[in-house]
Amino acid sequence: MAVPKKKVSHSRKRIRNSAKKLSEVHYIVCPNCSFLKLKHHVCKACGYFKDGLIYSKGNH
């Protein structure tokens, strides 16, 4: 069974864990309704993606 021979320092531990950090969320403005939305996602306010209507916000 593998056992560490030396204590891992705070610096080395933090350097290793820095690769696991979360990436920043990027928002863009919807060209149809000017609502903030995630890139490559359907707009939650108007239901448009690129130039077409994907779903309508009416009663289902």
pLDDT, tens digit (0-9, with 9 covering 90-100), for 4-34: 999 999 999 999 999 999 988 999 999 889 9
- 60 versus 5: the higher-pLDDT residue is 5
Structure tokens at 34: 């000017």
Q: Find out whether 18 and 10 touch, Cβ atoms under 8 Å.
A: no
What is d(CA 27, CA 39) in angstroms, rounded to the nearest whole number? 6
Domain of 55?
26-60
What's the domain count of the chain?
1
What is d(CA 29, CA 43) in angstroms, rounded to the nearest whole number? 9
In-domain check, residue 53: yes
pLDDT confidence band for 49 (50 / 70 / 90): confident
Structure tokens at 37: 């939305």
In-domain check, residue 49: yes
What is d(CA 26, CA 23) in angstroms, rounded to the nearest whole number? 9
pLDDT confidence band for 37 (50 / 70 / 90): very high
Tokens 């979360």 belong to residue:
22
In-domain check, residue 21: no
In-domain check, residue 14: no
